[in-house]
Copies of this chain bind each other. A is one copy, B any other.
Amino acid sequence: MTERNRTDKLEAPSNAIGKILSFIRERRYQPSERLPSERDFAEKFDTSRGAVREALAALETMRVIERRPNSGIYLRKIEESSIDALVLYAESGVPFEAKEIADVMEVRRMLEGQAVRLACTRRTADNIREINAILEETNKRLSKKQSIEREDEAFHLAIFSATKNDILLRVARSFYELSRHRRKVYFADHSRGRQSYEDHCAILEAIEERRVGQAEQQMNAHLSRTGEAWQALLAYIPQVACRLT
């Protein structure tokens, strides 16, 4: 009951990574604490040292652990760990807090209002075509009662892309990756998907016509609605959030 064929998030959880990760969480290891040795892990998971070392290499680049030669493997602070590690954590069963939602929405307000302004002035015809295609796909999925979490992410990232600021796009990508699990929960409700779709259409129209003020206003309205929907979601069924995947 540990995992199934869900190898479409990170391509190689490779089994061992997940095992080590949940081992760390279950045993409540503290930062800078020393973990079992490679050989212990291999024995514990009934696998080979090579497989363990490969997983450890991955976890080290995610900055979850630190390997000190001739000493041991040490757990690092959670804040130091990379986004990929957090995604792995979030993907299955980590507690889910209202403050995180509020934080996410605050950052979105900081970034997306200004991004949409830039997008208005710098967009090309290609950008419009791309966003249009995304919205069509959104509509298609909505009419089939499917979740649109990926299309929502694609829409917002396409706006960042239209700003022609590669650094901003990169930051936005890692940000959206970070909140991907929450988005999955959010769009489990069909009506929230419909509302987002309508908001998106209005935003695209403003960008296409290069109405800077209107675009920013529409984006702010969209984010406000999303924030309120989140509050409502959390107020009534906070425990549902964890179980959905």
Residues of A within 8 A of B (CB): 10-12, 14, 50, 53-55, 57-58, 60-62, 66-67, 79, 82-84, 86, 99-100, 103-104, 106-107, 110-111, 114-115, 118, 165-171, 174-175, 178-179
Q: Is the CB of B111 within 8 A of A165?
A: no
Nearest-CB residue, chain B, relative to A171: B175
4 other contacts beyond A58-B58, A82-B84, with CB at 8 A cut-off? A11-B67, A50-B50, A100-B166, A106-B118
Q: Which of A67, A107, A166 has the most CB of B within 10 A?
A: A107
Copies in the complex: 2
Q: Is the CB of B103 within 8 A of A168?
A: yes
Q: Is the CB of B53 within 8 A of A55?
A: no
Nearest-CB residue, chain B, relative to A12: B60
B residues near A165, Cβ cutoff 8 Å: 103, 106-107
Complexed CA–CA distance, A103 and B212 (Å): 20
Complexed CA–CA distance, A166 and B175 (Å): 12
B residues near A103, Cβ cutoff 8 Å: 165-168
Complexed CA–CA distance, A50 and B48 (Å): 12
Whether A178 touches B168, Cβ cut-off 8 Å, given contacts A50-B53, A54-B54, A57-B54, is: no
Q: Is the CB of B12 within 8 A of A168?
A: no
Complexed CA–CA distance, A61 and B208 (Å): 37
B residues near A99, Cβ cutoff 8 Å: 166
Q: Which 6 A-B pairs have the closest CB atoms?
A: A103-B167, A54-B57, A58-B61, A103-B165, A57-B57, A57-B58
Write the nearest CB–CB distance from A95 to chain B, whole angstroms: 14
* A-B contact list, 25 entries, CB within 8 Å: A11-B66, A12-B60, A12-B67, A57-B57, A57-B58, A58-B58, A58-B61, A61-B61, A61-B62, A79-B166, A79-B169, A82-B83, A86-B170, A103-B166, A103-B167, A106-B165, A107-B167, A110-B110, A110-B168, A167-B175, A167-B179, A170-B178, A171-B171, A171-B175, A174-B174
